Amino acid sequence: MFNLILFGPPGSGKGTQSEKLIEKFGFKHLSTGDLLRKEIADQTPLGMEAKSLMDKGQLVPDEVVIGMISGALEANRDASGFLFDGFPRTVAQAEALDRLLELHKTAIGVLIELQVPEEELITRMLKRSKTSGRSDDADEHVQRNRLEIYRRDTMPVAEHYAASAKSVSVEGVGSIDEIFNGICNVIDAKIAKGN
Ligand code: AMP
């Protein structure tokens, strides 16, 4: 089993690249953003509570997303590998993920960080807001808030995995296929090394 964290700020292309990676490697895709948006669409109490935080660009509480991931790991025991997208976003989430994977007798193989300059991220999010219907993409103030939270709370997650030499950066600017090739090279090298 090979498990991957696709990491990077909002607008760095994680969703787009995830789709291609799932197709190529057969990963089970676990996006906490998608899972939360489904809760909102289904109008569950969890979704209603998460929506107000998401609309402001704030993180939902760790225990909420950890609970969702724990349930998804249980529900997909026969998966050949997981692609975590938008999770973990705090060191507490990363530590919880490591423990959960250990219970399932597996671990993170690599964290791949997509590197994109900040102004490019803002441009991409504004463009995405025109088709995604995502209210958190449309407002530049909310976007800047999400980037600030990323820098403060989420970037330390890359350092957490760097401590075990599992953190790799990939250029996130260029054509979709160029970026995809960069990611695939990292995964192939890690798999060839047996993690
Ligand atoms: P995303 O689709 O990954 O950009 O996530 C959209 C929003 O959902 C974020 O701005 C957060 O409010 C919330 N969210 C998604 N994943 C997480 C997470 N792992 N921890 C906390 N909040 C999250």
User: How does pLDDT run across 51-65, given as a tens digit for each residue?
Assistant: 999 999 999 999 999
Q: List the catalytic residue out of 37, 51, 146, 166.
A: 146
Rounded Cα distance, 56 and 52, in Å: 7
How high is the pLDDT of residue 117?
94
CATH superfamily of 3-193: P-loop containing nucleotide triphosphate hydrolases (3.40.50.300)
Residue 173 has pLDDT above 80, yes or no: yes
Rounded Cα distance, 82 and 73, in Å: 9
pTM: 0.95
Rounded Cα distance, 191 and 185, in Å: 10
10: Cβ below 6 Å to ligand 1? yes
Q: List the catalytic residue out of 20, 28, 124, 128.
A: 128
Q: Hey, what are 113's tokens?
A: 């960080």
User: How does pLDDT run across 132-149, given as a tens digit for each residue?
Assistant: 887 787 888 888 999 999
How high is the pLDDT of residue 195?
55
Q: Is 29 left (phi over 0), alpha (psi -120 to 50) or beta?
A: beta
User: How does pLDDT run across 90-103, given as a tens digit for each residue?
Assistant: 999 999 999 999 99
89: Cβ below 6 Å to ligand 1? yes
In the chain, where are the structural domains located? 3-193
Q: Is 16 left (phi over 0), alpha (psi -120 to 50) or beta?
A: alpha
- Residue 139, classed as helix, strand or coil, is coil
Residue % of the chain over a pLDDT of 90: 84
Sign of CA dihedral 53, 3, 79, 179: positive
